[in-house]
Amino acid sequence: MIDRIHLSTTDGETLEARWDRPEHPVGAVVLCHPHPQQGGTMMAPLMVAVTTRLVERGFSVLRFNFRGIGASTGKHDHGKAEVLDVAAAVSLCGGLSWGG
């Protein structure tokens, strides 16, 4: 199952995200994409391949676009505010059952 969701950061940005889940999850992973200024997005081929393999092995995977990428609001902050993006993803992942 794949859900398209949005994450909210503590500084008011909204991040585009996907929650990929197997039928019976055994764990959860937050997967962060490669550097956005070098073409990294949550839909990069590496991200899709890793997500597919993790889901096949029973893991729910939360991946998201950092601020300023895809439909995520905000702009690239050279790694400073992006910490808030990761925190929003980890917070959501920790607050849900692995099955969503």
Q: Please write the tens of the pLDDT for every residue from 37-93.
A: 888 999 999 999 999 999 999 999 999 999 999 999 999 999 899 999 999 999 987
Largest Cα separation within the chain, whole Å, is 37
Question: Residue 94's beta-bridge partner residues?
Answer: none
Q: What's the start-to-end Cα distance of the chain, in Å? A: 10
Decide if pLDDT at 96 tops 90: no
Q: How distant is the alpha carbon of residue 97 from its chain centre? A: 16
Global pTM value: 0.90
Kindly tell me if the per-residue pLDDT of 10 is higher than 80.
Answer: yes
